[in-house]
Amino acid sequence: MHRRKNVSFGFAIFVSLGALASLALAQGPAPAPLMVHQLKPNVYWIEGGGGNTGVIVGDKGVVVVDAKTTPAQGKELLDDIAKITPKPVTTVILTHSDGDHVNGLASFPAGITIIAQENNKKEQETALAAGGRGAPPAGHLPTKTISKNKEDLKIDGTKVQALHWAPAHTSGDLVVYLPSEKIVFTGDIITTQPDALIHLEKNGSSEGWVTTAKGIAALNADQFVPGHGNVMDKAAVQKKATDVAAKRAKIKDLVAQGKSLADIKTAVGDPPPAQGKGKGGPGFASFTDVVYQELTKKGA
């Protein structure tokens, strides 16, 4: 009798463990923790949870560049910053409006200064009006917008230049340059993908991307933190700007010759659709598709 009870009890545990394992598999693996990297005594970049984040420790407070994807990742980001310094986060600078750079703001304290290029704010407002996908809660929209191509800021004792050359990845890109530290936070204008990533639906531009990338490469900096991927040096950024500009020029020449999109993709070495699926990255048309569309639309 006791043996039968023990067998039944063991079987119940086995079934329960199996159910828990199935649930865990259905939910997928737990997200990897964020990783903190130090660039200078007062400057860090934090990897994971969407786009890269910059952390600048000032005299009395902390400046954050981009805020991760989800409220949970935003909270983890703030927890990591608290391990670096007891100083409060006072300012966030947004490089652009993509959800993996702004949605973590939902966990940031109320009343902080949120700086963005003026078109970035418009894009977030559009996303909120459409139901909120890809934008933080209304209480975390930018509180200060930048309309100039260059604005010199001094935040908590740190010199910061906010730079915007032209619509590139989006219409509202902002590059964050620390001239004293020779560090640049590029947002998604620069990533470790070989081609440029451009949101046509956010009025990004391949021509503007080339202008912006060349401007970034000309900055007096040693370390460039891309929107995604590891820190790059000046030579790597210059090479990417040059390579993408050359590819765009070749596509433009082939369009002028009347070549088809398929022929152009072959000529510039794009992978076939079965491998590349026509995408330059998750949710992006390929760079060749973008340039072709820009150059062949009416009035171009």
Q: What is the pLDDT of residue 172?
A: 97
The amino acid occupying position 268 is V
- The whole-number pLDDT of residue 51 equals 95
Q: What are phi and psi of 177, to 5 degrees?
A: -120, 130
Look up residue 232 and give its DSSP letter.
Answer: B
* pLDDT value of position 3: 47
Residues 6+ apart with CB under 8 A from 93: 63, 64, 65, 66, 115, 116, 160, 162, 174, 176, 185
pLDDT in tens, 135-161: 777 789 999 999 999 999 999 999 999
* 2-30: burial string, b at 16+ Cβ within 10 Å, e else: eeeeeeeeeeeeeeeeeeeeeeeeeeeee
The answer to whether 282 and 262 have CB atoms below 8 angstroms apart is: no
SS3 category, 21 = helix
Neighbour tally for 208: CB within 10 Å: 22
Q: Name residue, tokens 């952390």.
A: 55
Question: What's the one-letter identity of residue 36?
Answer: V
Q: Which residue type occupies 82?
A: A
**Cα separation of 69 and 134, whole Å?**
9
What was the pLDDT predicted at 22? 43
Judged by phi (left if over 0) then psi (alpha if -120 to 50, else beta), residue 41 lies in alpha
d(CA 26, CA 254): 48
Instruction: Identify the pLDDT of residue 161.
Output: 98
Residues 6+ apart with CB under 8 A from 209: 168, 169, 189, 196, 198, 244
Count Cβ atoms below 10 Å from residue 274 Cβ, excluding itself: 6
Which portions of the chain are predicted below pLDDT 50? 1-26, 275-281
Multiple choice CATH, 35-233, 3.20.20.370, 3.30.930.10, 3.60.15.10, 1.20.140.10: 3.60.15.10
Encoded tokens for 141:
């929209």
Rounded Cα distance, 93 and 73, in Å = 17
- Give the per-residue pLDDT at 67: 96
pLDDT of amino acid 53? 98
- Cα–Cα distance measured from residue 13 to residue 209, given in angstroms and rounded to the nearest whole number: 58
Q: What is the pLDDT of residues 221-245, one digit of tens each?
A: 999 999 999 999 999 999 999 999 9
Confidence at residue 131, expressed as pLDDT on a 0 to 100 scale:
82
